[in-house]
């Protein structure tokens, strides 16, 4: 079964909202068979099979959903509080 390596590429993008340096992050997945890099030292995750990649995707999506839901709940609570206290 083919295995894959996941890399994280970062590049500066200026100043973020907190005044610190902002970064753009991109992930790329490379099949191990054609990976000419050094995955043991440079990959974020190395040697993942297709099932591992699917599980990783699902876990990340669950965390994103949880974070987004919490943010929406906070916004709704703040809006409700603003309506109660003019």
In tens, the pLDDT along 9-44 reads 988 887 766 777 788 889 999 999 999 989 989 999
Q: In the predicted model, what is the mean pLDDT of the chain?
A: 89
**What are the structure tokens assigned to 77, written together?**
């609570």
Looking at the predicted structure, is the pLDDT value of residue 7 above 90? yes
CB 28 within 8 A of CB 66: no
Cα separation, 29 vs 6, whole angstroms: 5
Say if residue 45 is exposed, middle or buried (CB neighbours under 10 Å; 0-12, 13-18, 19+): middle
Element (H, E) at 21: strand 21-31
Going by pLDDT thresholds of 50, 70 and 90, the confidence category of residue 86 is low
- Dihedral in degrees, nearest 10, Cα atoms 25, 31, 32, 33: -150
């Amino acid at each position: 079964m083919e295995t894959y390596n996941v890399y994280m590429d970062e590049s500066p993008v200026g100043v973020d909202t907190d005044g610190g340096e902002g970064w753009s992050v991109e992930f790329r997945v490379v099949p191990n068979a054609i990976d000419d890099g050094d995955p043991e030292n440079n990959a974020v995750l190395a040697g993942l099979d297709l099932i591992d990649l699917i599980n990783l995707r699902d876990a990340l999506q669950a965390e994103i959903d949880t974070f987004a839901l919490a943010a929406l709940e906070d916004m709704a609570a703040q809006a409700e509080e603003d309506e109660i206290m003019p």
